[in-house]
Amino acid sequence: MSKPSAYIVRCPGCGAANRIPADRIGLAAKCGKCRMEIPTDEKSAQPEESFKLRCVRCGAKNRIPHSKLKAGAKSLSEHESKNLLRHYGIPVTGEAVATSSKEAAKIADMMGYPVALKVDSPDIIHKTEAGAIKLSLRNSQEVLKAYDEVITNSMKYTPNARIKGVLVQEMIEDAREVIIGISIDPQFGPTIMFGLGGVFVEVLKDVSFKVPPLSRPDAEDMIKEVKGHEMLKTFRGKPEADINAIIDVLLKVSKMALDLGDIISEIDINPLMVMNKGKGVKTADALVLLK
């Protein structure tokens, strides 16, 4: 099997995909978008071909190998799920997967603090219950300790889990949280869900649903139909949230539902972190379940 001619490296700062020729692997490099130094070792790089495989059904380019969707897998890891979201232009947090505590600390130092650490495994869906997530880490010593705890807790929670590593992720602070998802309704097929985060969904069940395709007015209505939508406006001294960015994500999720409705059984973007008006959104966590 021939070696790849080029690799793709994700910037841990801005999440941009950088193409690195094979003969430059291991050498110093900077992100073409934000100019942050990026890791170019083979652990951090993925063969370019895996970002170019086309779906045998619809011909769409996928940023995860299509073989993952055919090999009997029931879910994607968080990192793989976010790669799928990136393919549809949905913003995600800056992040990188580490396979050792030292590598995690190095990534965190490059990314800047605070950071979050999470297990990256398609077999551990409920990371909080597993003790496999550590938030608001503010220095390398905290990262080194947290890495070992995440791995240990994950192995105890699911001994046979496929652990791809630990995700080192930027922390988004001072943002409002919303939830966007796709489920498959037995009668209507793919269905889009929207709600505010926290108690609004967990306790009050304050959510709205629509069947794709969504128009922009449809997406606007989904937000307005949620009783707590006033929280997204200027509220108690907080500026208005970036509602237009939420609408853009709803429209992109609508396209995902139509494209992938016969492959996926559920997609959860939870939470989608919403910054102030004009500042955009970022997916902090995502889950893709497959049929």
Residues 6 or more apart whose CB falls under 8 angstroms from that of 128 comprise none
Residues 272, 185 share a domain: yes
Taking the C-alpha atoms of residue 67 and residue 288, their distance in angstroms, rounded to an integer, is 15
| 174: its two tokens | 């001072």
Average pLDDT over residues 20-29: 83
The total number of structural domains in the chain stands at 3
Residues 274, 195 share a domain: yes
| 201: its two tokens | 């969904």
> What per-residue confidence (pLDDT) applies to 52?
44
Domain boundary among the residues 144, 170, 196 is at: 170
Tell me whether residue 71 is in a domain: no
* pTM for the predicted model, two decimal places: 0.76
Tell me whether residue 86 is in a domain: no
Taking the C-alpha atoms of residue 39 and residue 28, their distance in angstroms, rounded to an integer, is 8
Residues 181, 166 share a domain: no
> What per-residue confidence (pLDDT) applies to 69?
47
Residues 281, 230 share a domain: yes
Q: What is the CA radius of gyration of the chain?
A: 19
Residues 180, 166 share a domain: no
pLDDT, tens digit (0-9, with 9 covering 90-100), for 182-234 = 999 888 889 999 999 865 666 567 899 999 999 999 999 999 999 889 889 98
Tell me whether residue 144 is in a domain: yes
> What per-residue confidence (pLDDT) applies to 176?
94
Residues 272, 199 share a domain: yes
Confidence label for 291 from pLDDT (cuts 50, 70 and 90): confident
Q: For the domain that residue 153 is a member of, what is the CATH number?
A: 3.30.1490.20
Q: Give me the residue label for tokens 């099997």.
A: 1
Q: For the domain that residue 28 is a member of, what is the CATH number?
A: 2.30.30
Residues 186, 255 share a domain: yes
Domain boundary among the residues 170, 194, 215 is at: 170
Tell me whether residue 67 is in a domain: no
CA–CA distances in Å: residue 272 to residues 157, 196, 269: 26, 9, 6
Residues 180, 101 share a domain: no
Tell me whether residue 58 is in a domain: no
Q: For the domain that residue 282 is a member of, what is the CATH number?
A: 3.30.470.20
Residues 6 or more apart whose CB falls under 8 angstroms from that of 216 comprise 247, 251
Residues 183, 162 share a domain: no
Range of the domain at 24: 6-52
CB 22 within 8 A of CB 7: yes
Q: Is the confidence at residue 151, as pLDDT, over 50?
A: yes
Q: In which element (H, E) is residue 46 found?
A: strand 45-47
pLDDT, tens digit (0-9, with 9 covering 90-100), for 261-288 = 888 899 999 999 999 999 999 999 999 9
Domain boundary among the residues 170, 190, 207 is at: 170
Residues 275, 208 share a domain: yes
Residues 211, 156 share a domain: no
Taking the C-alpha atoms of residue 38 and residue 59, their distance in angstroms, rounded to an integer, is 31
pLDDT, tens digit (0-9, with 9 covering 90-100), for 57-84 = 444 444 444 444 444 568 888 998 998 9
> What per-residue confidence (pLDDT) applies to 44?
72
Tell me whether residue 75 is in a domain: no
Classified as helix, coil or strand, 245 is: helix
Q: Is the confidence at residue 51, as pLDDT, over 50?
A: no
Cα angle value 26/31/37 (rounded, 5°): 60
What does the mean pLDDT of the chain come to? Answer: 86
> What per-residue confidence (pLDDT) applies to 73?
62
> What per-residue confidence (pLDDT) applies to 64?
46
